[in-house]
Structure 1
Amino acid sequence: MTASPSPVPACPVAPALLALPAGTPADEGLTRLLPVLGDLYRDLHAHPELSMNETRTAAIVAAVLRAQGWEVTEHVGTTGVVGTLTNGEGPTVLLRADTDGLPLAEDTGLPYASTDTAIGPDGGEVPLMHGCGHDHHVTALLGATALYAADRTGWRGTLLAVFQPGEEIAAGARAMVDDGFAERFPRPDVCLGQHVSPLPTGTVALRPGTAMSAADSFRIRLYGAGGHGSQPELAIDPILLGAHVVTRLQSVVSREIAAQDAAVVTVGSFQAGHKENIIPDSAELKVNVRTFDPEVRTRVLAAIERIVRGEAQAAGAPREPEFEPLNAFPLTVNDSDATERVRAALVTVYGEQGVQHMERPLPGSEDFGVFGTTFTCPSVFWMWGGFDPALYEGQDPSQVRPGTPGNHSPRFAPQAEPVIGYGVRGLLAAAAAFHGPEA
């Protein structure tokens, strides 16, 4: 994958504007910063970048952190940036934001909507959009880093501000760990992260235990023997084989997974052949699996392989099917004790009514959990609302309003400054629960 050949625009927001004089209290500092953070957010939204190619975003992040007084390390796991700020003895708290956009054509109508494009992994031009809120994540964390650097009287320890690439393809967190993260930076005592979501602005949602599903994506290539469509008896049709596989895979969840468990198996792509009267030699399926329990995951993946190989044998395929992993997201698991500390801290920002309990794990997936798993330390990940509360009047605020464009929608358009303000304050409060004066 290569970056877009078009010129990279300069960021109109000077890094120095996102730094505060020493001793600036948090409330005063956020009031001063919020208009500038809004400008930064709109710029990042207008200029998303593909996973593992976030060079412009990384350069902006690094420049802002340096202006704020952080020790900055660039190019961690390709385009990752890590800021380190130490303020005496105490716990090390890792705060994470992801930086990549999506190959998605924006349809929000916003005046700062993205019109950028890039060259995708297949060599073709793709549209770009921040359709999952990572522009909000970066902006909120840079607001929090400014406030922490300016006022060091209320906390002790070390902060790691991690700006992670490649979340959308489950590659960035692993790449940063594989690039020597454990040897290059202080070991975190807790990892914290948040994600903007289609909930009302001024609310958050979290839960202890499993918070988001694991996800496995892979490509399956099925082999047949090509021939003329008028003489199928002389061929082995991989399209028919693939159709049987697609149908049979739907039985994995309905007939092999217990009713009290949960899993999703999706065939999202089925490609074969080029002409209506030619039986091709092969077919390709792309499959996505979502699970909430490691044992269920093992059972589902084994069943898929068994079914695919069995159907290929039944069809008389001349070659064994091939399986190619595309990406794998781990379970996102919130430590119970740490989650309760974060919940109590978020109440100070959102109020008791604004902090919602997620009744069930989300079927979406994240690679944030790689950090906590790697360092065997507690992790907490929560959802923070980004849409006008008036849209949710008369309904449970913890539930996504029907019709509200969700993450990965081309119409996903969270509010700007109000959401940023809550995101900054949420990160400050959550981190203070572990290294503040009363932690």
Structure 2
Amino acid sequence: MSYIDSYYFATVNKQLNCPKLVGETSADVCIIGAGYTGLSAALHLAEKGYSVALLEAQKVGWGASGRNGGQVAQDYNMPHQELVKKVGRQIADSLWDMSIESVDLVKELISKHQIECDLKAGVLHVAAKASHCSHIKASVDYKQSVLGYDKIQYIDEAQVADMLGINCYHNGELWQDAAHLHPLNYALGLAKAAQDAGVHIYEESPVIEYQGGDRGFVKTDSGTVKAKYILLACNGYLGKLEPKIAGKVMPINNFIIATEPLPDEMCRKINRDDVAVADSKFVINYFKLSGDNRLLWGGGENYSTRFPRDIPNFVRKYMLAYYPELADVKIDYGWGGTLAITLNRMPYFNRIENNVYAAQGYSGHGVALATLGGKIMAQAISGDAEKFDMFANVPTPTFPGGTLLRFPGLVAGMLYYAMRDRFF
């Protein structure tokens, strides 16, 4: 079993090649899923003195953690004003503070463990339509005046054009303290740090059954882990492992291409300040420059359970709609991945039993929030559930019809919003 053919896999610093679980072992905590949540939880638990077994069905970072756009930004997809209505001002403010903490945590872990992952500064969110401009301006004003956050800057239309070399976008908000990185190298760096702290990582060990309670265990096709605590950190790959929470998330596919390396002059033209960019469409376009001057572009719509046959050409047309001058540029890589969204677009944390926890549904903010989620899970397991409870108290609706009807419902909803992107 190996990674998919992506730019990220082609440029990994070093693979870990962890063993498969064979036979019976025991640990204080068994974590299912070696993405950011599982890796961060494992590392923080080990640093607290817990013995940890981490089970991964494929390879470390094989899922969305090793395939995403690499953006590390503050905030959530649910506006702070809406959070206030759901949970009150005090908890909403604490959740906002935790979104800032999540980005700081990523940076701290990269520095502490000397993870080489092309870390760069800045994320720019731009208005794809004139009708979106007032929302972005209001967003910046609210964060500065109400939340007292001064590391976000309003960017007018002329400034956006200067930064990106195009006139297709309108105004924007620049998250100055946000970042972007090579997501797979970051995941592998976390895994190495966890191993160094004493975590036992098992790859190619898909879980087929688990049981909580006093005799908790996690079973694969070739081994079993007896554990006092269990953490489900599967996100878009939960499958049928735990029906109680499966209906809270929707697995969706996302696609990215990587061009051949571009000349320095072209890089400065299309991304003057080397920031990560995301637009305001519902089906968003997002892009950034890699450490070796490639343009990484994410976009496109897919309403099937399968990936397009030709991902490079599927995504390329979206890139060319903004940068037609790249028509002759070679596309070296094209790949897809599966993430998980919730109906309210907030992370979903839950305690299924006294000793069984779950964290999932980061809805596109997974690099930062899943890293923080892992730390929060480690805190909850060790007896400090304050931050966990704040997330758990955010109402997370089940998708209508649960797992049976959630996909047809998503298709209908996405088609509607895709039409709005095009015509309104």
Task: Tell me whether the two structures share a fold, i.e. TM-score over 0.5.
Answer: no
Larger radius of gyration: 1
